[in-house]
Amino acid sequence: MQKTPEETNILLVDDEPDFRKALEFSFKRAGYKTFLAGSGNEAFDFICANKNIDVVVSDIRMANGDGVQLLERLRERFSETPVVLLITGFSELTTEEAYEKGAEALFAKPIDQDGLKETIKRLLTPPEMRWGERTDLSATQLKVSIQFGGPSGVDGQIVSIGRGGMFVGIDHPPYPNVNEKVSFQFELADHQSIEGDGVVKWARTGATTHLPAGCGIEFSYLPEEQRKQVMQYIEANRPKAFIPIK
């Protein structure tokens, strides 16, 4: 099921030739097949013409179709191609919005090369395998335990599920920290109890006019039976968001 780097086609999108070249070198050396585009529009046309692109790594700020537009157009057409956005820390797009729009991961420039490679490897792993390994947690200490409706840890309520994670509404402190590893337990609509692990990708520690307080969690581990339940749920609902914003 898992493609080898040699079987993987990566499209690298950035308007800066030197950066594009350096990124290309890095992935080529790791064995990937790389393709380059200098703008969002060019990338979109390329993907339409070559449907075998497995993952897109794109800058956000570009003339002729920026990275956000590219992501939106892709999600309208092929909801499945993973997109990793590269931001500069000053972009108009917030982390929550990026995941809501369907981006699988975000990296800030200057980028952590190993982290990016690691993420791409993970994104190219189908969910049933990706969520099957509990390696993430053995390496680090578990800090927060989210028991939805439970008596201890962070107390929250699951509100929605995306393709790769979920939004948890939390009305009052404590809020988990970003990048914190958490274990969770919740019930799907049919009272099926789901337990698993995840990583907090963002936390909104106060409600805004349109959005409730809470946090976005990416799934990292689900036990086999429950994994199937969650995947069936995703299959049935086909959410656009990777992690919903609310």
Partner 1 sequence: MKQKVLIVDDEPRNQRIIIESLEDMAELKTASSGEEAWAIMQTWIPDLVLLDIMMPGIDGYQLCKQIKSDKRIEFTKVILVSGKAMIDERLKGYEVGADDYMTKPFVPEELVAKTKVFLRLTEAEKSLGEINLSLEKKVEERTKTLTETQAKLAAAAKMSALGEMAGGIAHEINTPLATIGLLISQMEELITDDPIDKDLISEHLTTIGETVKRISTIITGLRFFSRDGSHDNFSQVALTEVVKNTLVLCQEKLKHSNIQLTVEPIAESLQVDCRSVQISQVLVNLVGNSCDAIQNRPEKWIRIAAKVQGDQVEISVTDSGEGIPESVREKMFQPFYTTKEVGKGTGLGLSISKGILESHKGSLCVNRESKNTQFVIRLPLKRESSQAKAG
Kindly state the smallest distance separating residue 37's Cβ from partner 1, in Å: 16
**Lookup: tokens for 196:** 């698993």
Instruction: Closer to partner 1 by CB, 92 or 171: give it.
Output: 92
**Do residues 65 and 40 lie in contact, with contact meaning Cβ atoms separated by under 8 Å?**
yes
Classify 101 as helix, strand or coil.
coil
Give the nearest distance from C-beta 22 to partner 1 in angstroms: 4
Min CB(91)–partner 1 separation in Å:
7
Q: How far is the CB of 61 from partner 1 (least distance, A)?
A: 5
Category of 149 on φ-ψ map: left (φ > 0), alpha (ψ -120 to 50) or beta? left
Which residues are near partner 1 by CB under 8 A? 14-16, 18-19, 21-23, 25-26, 29, 59, 61-64, 66, 86, 88-92, 108-111, 113-114
Shortest spacing between CB 113 and partner 1, in angstroms: 5
Q: Which is nearer to partner 1, 114 or 190 (CB)?
A: 114
Tell me 7's DSSP state. Answer: G
Q: What is the C-alpha separation between 3 and 14, in angstroms, rounded?
A: 25
Residue closer to partner 1 by CB (options 19, 35) is: 19
Q: In whole angstroms, give the CA distance from residue 168 to residue 37.
A: 37
Minimum CB distance to partner 1 smaller for 63 or for 129: 63
Closest CB to partner 1 among residues 91, 119: 91
Distance CA 242, CA 98 (A): 9
State both tokens at 46. 């390329």
